[in-house]
Amino acid sequence: MVRYILKRFFMMILTIWIIATLTFVLMNAIPGSPFNEERTSNEAVQENLERHFNLDEPPIVQYFIYLKSIATLDFGPSIKKPNSTVNDLLGRGFPISAELGIIAILVALLSGIVLGVLAALRHNGIIDYLAMTIAVLGISIPNFVLATLLIQQLAVNGGFFPVATWQSPMHMVLPTLALATGPMAIIARLTRSSMLEVLTQDYIKMARAKGLAPYKVVIKHALKNALMPVVTILGTLLAGILTGTFVIEKIFAIPGMGKYFVESINQRDYPVIMGTTVFYSAFLVFALFLVDIAYGLLDPRIKLHKEEGN
Amino acid sequence: MKKILEVNDLHVTFSTYGGEIKAVRGVDFELHEGETLAIVGESGCGKSVTANSIMRLIPSPAGKIANGEIIFKGNDLAKESDKNMRKIRGVDISMIFQDPMTALNPTLTIGNQLTEGLRQHKNVSRKKAEQKALEMLDLVGIPNPEERLKQYPHQFSGGMRQRIVIAIALICEPDLLIADEPTTALDVTIQAQILELFETIQEETNVAIILITHDLGVVAKAADRIAVMYAGKIIESGTKYEVFYEPQHPYTQGLLNSIPRLDQKGEKLEPIDGTPPDLFSPPVGCPFTARCPHAMFVCEKVYPLRHEPSETHYADCWLYDERVHTPNLMNKKEETT
């Protein structure tokens, strides 16, 4: 197990390094610089600024300065927001984004699994059709459309929820709904189909032949086996939720990380681009690692270490 | 010997898009304590459906017990509520499945799967349940039971898994054990071991066993009585010796002729030609008529009267009727058509 984790950790570092390098190359490939639009500054000021941010160095030197900043986890000051460092921005934005993301993924998982299980148990019944209609709608409506629709119907017309921002639990309802619906739909469909398959297995019949209560048969015997495919796509879904937060945060004016991420690219705020990208990728890579660990917990046949393998 | 199970005129149907399949069409049999009844027949003859009906585990809403009684210890299981059935399943009647590779849940430990039934029904402590589980593993012949309890199904071989399935079935000390092709998925040496295990268990617990199989070798070794099923009916029933040595029904004779024998060198096996009838619209007469070498005119018109050569032996066949010699009525089918 320890060897497996060490190996994975090394792979994670490698992945992040590749992402960081690609980001650096792309960043340098975008035309323009952070100071282009500022017409007021004269050339001397601009040169000073560039020197201050090491932008006068050749790209290869910049690259190593950049790698060093990743290694030390200190991304330096933001170019566009001179009063805060990149770490400040991350520290401010991440908790909000994480809150939104975690609530959304929990809502998606819980409602998706419940919906999928109900649909499977009432196969070809009304609940099944209802659940699958919700699922198809959820998959086909993009989250930004859903977000605007929710704002218009439930906030502006209905007045049930605040229109935007992130303050009280009431503020969280609409963004969470908008963000969670897509993943929920995917989870529901997947849970349903894999539940349907598992329910025909001999060990389910065996569990019923033992005279177990129906809920025990479903939850203990069927669901645990049916969740494997859900865990498999959890990694992808996390990535989806992550990118979803960019859009949702923008629509609901939530001061999370996504805002800084998008702004930094538009403004060529190099340190912030690097900081947020590396942070996001590290987060995602770590989440995928957790998903792999979860496999082993759910299914004892999957071994994470080679020593016992055959 | 006390009678523990009596099945009377059991009818089971499945409704499908294509119509209603009459899978079991009037089955009667009874079973006594400590007795082994083998139900034999080819695939699709309704033997598994019969077994599942006793457990009330036929897939609903498609399948249902259309008619008949299943009297178990005085109660009619066919009319029992689902809730009461759950108290009977696993406690009074247990079941063993065909394929031990799929009958155990791959994500739960053996110990968990062994004890959960006990804990559900008998309300015993975890410790006591585990104690009982160890005893059961010992009974079915699994070495190192303490260690094995913590392991998962994939860490066992096929034969071992079937032993565990048997242990699970027996842990609540049932009065009736239904074994649905318990040895079909195992290789021959393991088959023999499992059958011997059944014998040992029966001696120790006096459990009654319904053994469902299409393997006459298994029947010869394990059964006391035999019921031969064909197209949803029991067409012949008797003690093992009666059915093996004096088969009455042409179908039973055909089955016995199609087994290879070591003592008759070089003879060709005689398969039974043709296929069983369509159970969407089963024939009114004897269902075996189309494949029967002795088929007569009457066979396809009227279901045969019961022929009873002994108190324990019967066969549903016209061949033994006195009127068979009456001209015209009982002509050989080929001659009349």
Where do the domains of chain A lie?
Answer: 2-71, 89-298
Closest by Cα among A222, A215, A227 to A200: A222
Size of interface A-B (CB pairs under 8 A): 79
Q: Please judge whether A201 and B102 are an interchain contact, meaning their C-beta atoms are less than 8 angstroms apart.
A: yes
Tens-place pLDDT, residues A138-190: 999 998 999 999 999 988 898 888 888 888 888 889 999 999 999 999 999 99
Burial class (CB in 10 A: 0-12, 13-18, 19+), B301: middle
Chain-chain contact of A300 with B99 (C-beta, under 8 angstroms): no
CA distance B293 to B210: 31
pLDDT, residue A240, reads: 83
Q: Is the pTM of this model over 0.90?
A: no
User: How crowded is residue A167: how many other Cβ atoms within 10 Å of its Cβ?
Assistant: 10
d(CA A27, CA A250): 22
Q: What are phi and psi for residue A13, nearest 5 degrees? A: -60, -45
Contacts of A121 in chain B (CB under 8 A): none
Q: Which residue of A has its CA nearest to B166?
A: A206
Give me the mean pLDDT over the B62-86 stretch: 91
- pLDDT at residue A286 is higher than 60: yes
Complex prediction ipTM: 0.84
Cβ partners under 8 Å of residue B121, min gap 6: A211, B87, B90, B91, B172
- What mean pLDDT do residues A204-226 have? 91
Chain B nearest-CA distance from A235, in A, is 22
Return the CATH number of A89-298, one of 1.10.3720.10, 3.30.559.10, 1.20.210.10, 1.20.1740.10.
Answer: 1.10.3720.10
Q: What is the number of H-type helices and E-type strands within chain B?
A: 12, 12
Task: Give the model's confidence band at A89: pLDDT under 50 very low, under 70 low, under 90 confident, else very high.
Answer: confident
Average pLDDT over chain A, rounded to whole? 85
Residue type, A95: P
Q: What is the pLDDT of residue B306?
A: 92
Give the count of beta carbons closer than 10 Å to the beta carbon of residue B81: 9
What's the confidence (pLDDT) of residue B321? Answer: 85
Q: Which residues of B touch A220 (CB under 8 A)?
A: 108, 116
Residue B316: what pLDDT? Answer: 93
Q: Give the chain A residue whose CA is nearest to the CA of B167.
A: A210
Q: What is the pLDDT of residue A164?
A: 82
Domains of chain B: 3-92+174-336 (3.40.50.300), 104-173 (no CATH)
Closest by CA position to B162, among listed B143, B178, B136, B185: B185
Q: Which residues of B touch A (CB under 8 A)?
A: 55, 57, 85-91, 94-95, 97-99, 102-109, 116-117, 120-121, 152, 154, 165, 168-169
Q: For residue B197, give the nearest of B110, B137, B146 by alpha carbon.
A: B137
Gyration radius from chain A CA atoms: 24
Averaged pLDDT, A273-299: 84
Of the CA atoms within 13 Å of residue A237, those in its CB half-sphere come to 28
Decide if pLDDT at A10 tops 60. yes
pLDDT in tens, B129-153: 999 999 989 888 889 999 999 999 9
**What is the per-residue pLDDT across B305-333, written as a single tens digit (0 to 9) for each?**
999 999 999 999 998 888 877 665 555 55
- pLDDT value at residue A191: 95
